[in-house]
Amino acid sequence: MGRTKEFDPDVALRAAMELFWRRGYEATSMQDLVDHLGIGRASIYATFGSKHELYLSALDRYCEGMDGTTLAALSQSGPALPAVRAVLRSFVENALADEERKGCMVTNTAVECLPHDQQAARRVDASHDAIETALTGGLIRAQSQGELAGDRDPRAIARFLVTFLQGLQVIARTGNRRRLTDAVEQALTLLN
């Protein structure tokens, strides 16, 4: 009869996600994970595989939360354009509320791990695609409700906004509220 796990894998994954998010992939050693998770190296390997596999699982967990929040905010009924504006402004508020200035784990992964890590690249692309799709859907709805001019290209605007938000996540690590809010307000002029 095999031994039962003496830890909750979901709790351990969340703790690993937080450590990787704070320190990055390369700066986090296996010993750091052992210490932070409070479980043995063999248990980590048996449950999650390699450090890289654990990182990818942590990145997946991060994306599920962040992308899901964006999708939920943009798929509510009612006026769509205010929801798009609120999502962009929330990126700034969430970044500034983070006292550790960790940034966005997806953006951090893109900067640290790409292009040499194809598995991470696929996850970064999937996250960008999910946000782009959610924004496009919100903008199409705004257009159909007369909130956005009919000659505007919702997909092109969404692609710009995803690219803009990734840059915003890098700048957010400085904590300069004025720079971030001014940038978002300028980006929002595309929606007028």
The residue ranges of every structural domain in the chain are 60-191
User: In this predicted model, what pLDDT tens digit does every residue of 99-142 receive, in sequence order?
Assistant: 999 999 999 999 999 999 999 999 999 999 999 999 999 999 99
* CATH T-level assignment (fold) for domain 60-191: Tetracycline Repressor; domain 2 (1.10.357)
User: In this predicted model, what pLDDT tens digit does every residue of 52-74 receive, in sequence order?
Assistant: 999 999 999 999 998 888 888 88
User: In this predicted model, what pLDDT tens digit does every residue of 16-29 receive, in sequence order?
Assistant: 999 999 999 999 99
Cβ neighbourhood burial of 38 (10 Å; 0-12, 13-18, 19+): exposed
* CA atoms of 57 and 13, how far apart (whole Å): 8
For residue 115, report the phi and psi dihedrals to the nearest 5 degrees: -95, 0
CB atoms within 10 A of CB 43: 17
Whether the CB-CB separation of 103 and 95 falls below 8 Å is answered with yes
Confidence at residue 4, expressed as pLDDT on a 0 to 100 scale? 53
* CA atoms of 23 and 2, how far apart (whole Å): 34
Confidence at residue 60, expressed as pLDDT on a 0 to 100 scale? 97
Structure tokens at 34: 């052992």
Confidence at residue 32, expressed as pLDDT on a 0 to 100 scale? 98
* CA atoms of 64 and 103, how far apart (whole Å): 16
* CA atoms of 48 and 12, how far apart (whole Å): 10
Confidence at residue 186, expressed as pLDDT on a 0 to 100 scale? 96
Give the C-alpha distances (Å, rounded to integers) separating 49 from 17, 30, 31, 43, 165: 15, 12, 15, 9, 32
Q: What is the mean pLDDT of the chain?
A: 94
* CA atoms of 61 and 96, how far apart (whole Å): 22
Residue 181's Cβ-side half-sphere holds a number of Cα atoms within 13 Å equal to 6
3-class SS at 8? coil
Whether the CB-CB separation of 104 and 98 falls below 8 Å is answered with no
